[in-house]
Amino acid sequence: MSQLTLAERYEISAFKKQGLSNSKIAELLDRAKSTIGRELTRNADGRNNNYRPDLADKKAHLRHQQKNKYKALTTQIQEDITYWLKQGYSPEQINGSAIRHDRPCVSIERIYQFIWQDKKDGGRLYIYLRTKGKKYHKRGNKKAGRGLIPNRTCISQRPEVVDRKQRIGDMEMDLIIGKGHKGALLTINDRATGTLWMGHVKGKEAADIERKAIALLEDAIPFLRTITTDNGKEFANHEKIAEQLGIDFYFARPYHSWERGANENLNGLVRQYFPKGTNFDSIEDQAIKRAENILNNRPRKRYGFKSPNEVFADAINNEGIVAFMT
């Protein structure tokens, strides 16, 4: 209900002079009885307790101006935003996770405003954003068309169920190249849950990729169904990988990077921890594992702000495995 108007205050004054009760005045003005009682108590003349509508209106407006305004972005929320940014969460993930766990928060846009104001004031919160505050340019599939691979099976022959991302075990695989093309990170993700497996390889030799892919996925063999990559020659040993893991191997079409969109996006998240220009030869396995764990435990919007690990666990226990594996 809105605040009392000056006209209503004149009516209250007139009705009181007529001897009407607070209940009757409330009925005539379509207001709550408590509103009328509070008005007569708060805004009467403090010297003689008489009710004057003009004075009452001035007192009400002054009280409204002087009262503490609600501040949505409290100090505690600012501290929470700062903490989760430093944990690698995006503004959207901070907001979504807060909603999921019933924590106080502000809108995604307000979080960004807080970050930009911090930057304007000389702060460094913006460096924790994925793009470090720079304009994002989607990475194209620069590896396509680098030579023919024997016995490759095109993605057009892949079962349609894989496109729906409704079962675990349909994987995508790619290579992130280090500085000077020395060393690389092999990234593998599950299309349905976003779960990441990642490991270091010294180069782009097909034999190295084969060994690393098998080592990364051997514990997940019971759940594996398919794997899809681009046409890089590093995946020339696809038949050996498929045989060892018991899966079907498919290749995306050249210049169709969106056919491995989940992996493309995930590689962008990995770059937050290993930016372009990073010398992968100097990266320790512990650092790679740490980044993998962070990404697998970070909430994702597409899963209702559950983490990939939570979604994967849901999929493989009890009824969950039926829903995802059928």
pLDDT of residue 166: 85
Which amino acid, one-letter code, is at 141?
N
Mean pLDDT by 10 residues, the chain (326 residues): 82 92 91 90 87 90 63 86 92 90 87 91 89 54 55 90 90 89 90 94 90 94 92 92 93 79 84 86 89 93 91 74 38
Lateral strand order in the sheet of 196-201 = 196-201, 184-190, 170-177, 226-229, 248-251
Which amino acid, one-letter code, is at 215?
A
The answer to whether the beta carbons of residues 186 and 283 sit under 8 Å apart is no
pLDDT of residue 102: 85
Residue keyed to tokens 């919160």 = 125
The answer to whether the beta carbons of residues 190 and 171 sit under 8 Å apart is yes
Helix H or strand E encompassing 308 = helix 308-316
pLDDT of residue 147: 52
pLDDT of residue 306: 92
